[in-house]
Amino acid sequence: MILAQQTDEGFWNELFTSPVIAQAVPQATGETLYMVGVALVVSVVLGLPLGVYLWNSGPTGLSPQRGANQVVGTIVNIVRSLPFVILMVLLIPFTRFVVGTTLGATASIVPLAIGAIPFIARLVEAAFREVPSGKLEASIVCGASKPQTILKTLLPESLPSIVAAITTTAITLVAYSAMAGLVGGGGLGYLADAYGYKRFDMPVLIVATILLIIIVQLMQLVGDRIARHLDHRATASGSSGSRSPARSRRMRSGARA
């Protein structure tokens, strides 16, 4: 029992006094946010137009192109089906060509972005399918061209779902970045592997894990709030619900009169 108490005290002392936690953890956290942030921007910039094309050239789109859609869709599915670690290995020559190295946080951005582009493209395509076809037809009947229908009707109507797709992609990138750390990619994943696992430094492993959980929770919280704010359907239902008690009171008073 005394030995267990001494072990617990040693654990907590190391947790608050470890130089690795004091110096390496903040740096690793910054690297993780850097990798995820840049890869997310790149994946959104390239994945959103790809999602638009997949939807628009599909059978429910405004310009169906069966052959081209199947070719692009097959390529997207192949990239999505590859485990991220295998994708990183396959992209080593391309990463070295683009960045000049295959180690570090900057090098990890290349496979992170390439892995996330088809992922977010499929989510965006699914978000577009949720838009009622009647709204698109009404836009075309009013004289809008196909590009105008996409920009002024399709995108605004699917914006909450697109925000949710971006949130899901960001959380997936956090998990990918942790896997990238296992092969020298930097960030909290590298810290947890190099110090927590290989050197049996349990406090470092626990701190890195907790920070990853906090980052994911914050991303989900912010993404959900933005999506709810942009969802006019929820706003409309909420406003109608807030008016219903007053309306019912007026109806009851009219009935008594």
The radius of gyration computed from the CA coordinates of the chain, to the nearest angstrom, equals: 25
DSSP letters spanning 85-136: HHHHHHTHHHHHHHHS-SSSHHHHHHHHHHHHHHHHHHHHHHHHHTS-HHHH
Contact 169, 158 (CB under 8 A): no
Of 217 and 6, the one with more pLDDT: 217
**List of domains in the chain:** 31-237 (1.10.3720.10)
Indicate the range of 37-41, 55-59, 117-121, 185-189 predicted with least confidence.
185-189
Contact 80, 122 (CB under 8 A): yes
- Please tell me the predicted confidence (pLDDT) of residue 140: 83
Reading the block at residue 162, the tokens are 């697109």
Which 3 state secondary structure label does DSSP give 58? coil
pLDDT in tens, 101-152: 888 888 899 999 999 999 999 999 999 888 888 888 888 888 888 888 888 8
Average of per-residue pLDDT values in the chain: 81
Of 185 and 2, the one with more pLDDT: 185
Of 253 and 219, the one with more pLDDT: 219
Any idea which residue has 């105008």 for tokens?
Answer: 148
Distance CA 138, CA 193 (A): 55
The whole-number average pLDDT for the span 12-20 is 57
Of 50 and 10, the one with more pLDDT: 50
Distance CA 121, CA 50 (A): 6
Contact 86, 80 (CB under 8 A): no
Distance CA 145, CA 124 (A): 21
pLDDT in tens, 238-249: 444 444 444 445
Distance CA 199, CA 197 (A): 6
